[in-house]
Amino acid sequence: MAMNDVATARVPGRLADRRRWAALAVLVGSVLLLAIDGTVLYLAVPSLTRDLAPTATQVLWIGDVYSLALAGLLVTAGTLADRIGRKKVLLTGSAAFGVASVLAAFSTSAEMLIGARLLLGVAGATIMPSTLSIIRDLFPDAGERSRAIAIWGAGSGGGLALGPLVGGALLDHFWWGSVFLVNVPVVAVFLITGALLLPESRDPAPGRFDLLSAGLSVAAITPLVYAIKHAVDQGLDAWTASSALFGLAAGVLFVRRQRRAQTPLIDVTLFRNPAFSGAVLADLIAIFALTGLLFFFSQYLQLVRGFDPLQAGLAEMPTTIAMTLVIGVVGWVVARLGVGRAVAAGLLVAAVGLLVVAAAEDANNYLWLALALLPVGLGVGLAMTLTVDAVVSAVPRHQAGAASAIAETAYELGVVLGIAVLGSVMALRYRAGLDVPDAARPAVEESAASALATLDPGSDLAGAVREAFIEAMQTTSVIAAVITAVAALVAWRTIPSGKKDETAGTGSTSGGG
């Protein structure tokens, strides 16, 4: 134990630069896999709907339960990684991720697929916080860490957009289960390279693990998301109210316990710092908007535009390209605007992009949609890179797992809420916008995907379904744009904007917003 701790303290100085950046490549590869797995299923929704016949609520759960499990368990997993070793937890979770991928690939019912996605999320929760923790340990220099996190952010955010392309290429040749089975060889490569390149690190004085706090963290998140989903499917009833109240009560108890605990899972006093709170909120909103858009945009391209899965994946590439470009411009932007204004500018650019997406969904030429996706990807990528850096840089190195868990929880909550909230708005708006005879409503109101899977594509009823789907997409995009613009205002007012040299890090900026 003592020898491990001594080795941990010397890791950054001992590893040659080339090996440190090679280790970063392994970490980015792991988070890229997780991010792709969060969105790779989107293009498969029409085909798995034909095979498994899920309800509209089950479709949302298939997309959401993965990130729901991640969000609920990240705090616990990050704390465990600090205690028993981040590399050990990372590699164990990766192996479990491969096993869960096989179960998902060969699911024979919607319920089985939801269960497999849940297991994927549990395994993924052990991977996500460990990647940022190890980066924090590998790159103690603020400038290098900022660049490393920008690359990590490109992998994490770009993976959300890259998922549909990977899914499209697979679905063009194989059945929908292939989008999960492809994880297995990737995991095998990661286990080998990770064992060779990654250093072990842990908190030398972690304190007692609080099992009750871990349970409360899960109990605070899961019921709230369930309440949103249930409200869409069944309306505002006793289950909706009781689930929401239970989640809120668990959240209050969790915060109170963290304030009193000697070794809390999350240091809630960090949220007294407006810059820290603003960074977490901005990170959550940026991913909320991007995920909510991509989840239904993939379906829109296939169901309305008539693209095949591969064409739809390629059509979303402007988002990925824009998020990758952030690596090259983040230092330049921060040097001229400061962190707070740079985050606000990124969110504002993303909001404008979402508005243009809403307008372009009616356009005959896809070019307008491609141009609209560029500012969305650029703005979200910039905001996410800077906010994650600010969160991770706010704590000492030995608490890297806890800080990483906060950043990752915000990220995954953004994914969960983006699909749950915007997905629910989408479903309600679609049903309200259906201009069809009452006798035909039962056949089409469940979802556009299930309706168009059985209707004659050239029929008037199919045309009405597509029109309702477009209107629902436009409404959802506008709502996401408004929320993102509000987050830009919050970031501008709370995150300091002291300007820095391009070689400096972003985590210790000072100055007014």
pLDDT in tens, 344-357: 999 999 999 999 98
The pLDDT value given to residue 175: 83
Round to whole Å and give the CA distance between 485 and 181: 39
- 250-253: list long-range contacts, CB under 8 Å, 24+ apart: 250/216, 250/219, 250/220, 250/223, 251/216, 251/220, 251/224, 253/216
Round to whole Å and give the CA distance between 285 and 452: 32
- Of 194, 85, 66, the residue nearest 125 (C-alpha): 66
The pLDDT value given to residue 39: 64
- On the question of pLDDT at 24 being above 60, the answer is yes
Round to whole Å and give the CA distance between 194 and 174: 30
Round to whole Å and give the CA distance between 368 and 153: 26
The pLDDT value given to residue 355: 92
- Of 410, 422, 477, the residue nearest 67 (C-alpha): 410
Instruction: Please provide the DSSP assignment of 115-178 as one string.
Output: HHHHHHHHHHHHHHHHHHHHHHHH--SHHHHHHHHHHHHHHHHHHHHHHHHHHHHHHTTS-TTH
- On the question of pLDDT at 510 being above 60, the answer is no
The pLDDT value given to residue 468: 85
Under DSSP, is residue 434 helix (H, G, I), strand (E, B) or coil? coil
Q: Class for domain 2-210+261-494, per CATH?
A: mainly alpha
Both tokens of residue 72?
Answer: 């609920």
Distances (CA, A) of 493 to 282, 339, 459: 11, 12, 52
Confidence of residue 245 (pLDDT cuts 50, 70, 90): very high
3-state helix, strand, coil in the chain (%, to 5): 80, 0, 20
pLDDT digits (tens, 9 = 90+) for 142-161: 667 767 777 776 676 666 65
- On the question of pLDDT at 113 being above 80, the answer is yes
pLDDT digits (tens, 9 = 90+) for 298-344: 778 877 888 876 777 788 778 778 877 877 787 788 888 888 888 89
Under DSSP, is residue 1 helix (H, G, I), strand (E, B) or coil? coil
Sign of the C-alpha dihedral computed for residues 477, 48, 37 and 60 taken in this order: positive
- Of 302, 306, 345, 352, the residue nearest 488 (C-alpha): 345
Round to whole Å and give the CA distance between 487 and 340: 12
Residue ranges per structural domain of the chain: 2-210+261-494, 211-260
The pLDDT value given to residue 38: 65
Both tokens of residue 233?
Answer: 């499917």
Q: What are phi and psi of 362, to 5 degrees?
A: -90, -10
Percent of the chain with pLDDT over 70: 79
- The CA angle 37-175-103, to the nearest 5 degrees, is 55
Q: What is the mean pLDDT of residues 121-130?
A: 79
Q: What is the mean pLDDT of residues 361-388?
A: 84
Q: Is pTM beyond 0.75 here?
A: no
- On the question of pLDDT at 418 being above 70, the answer is yes
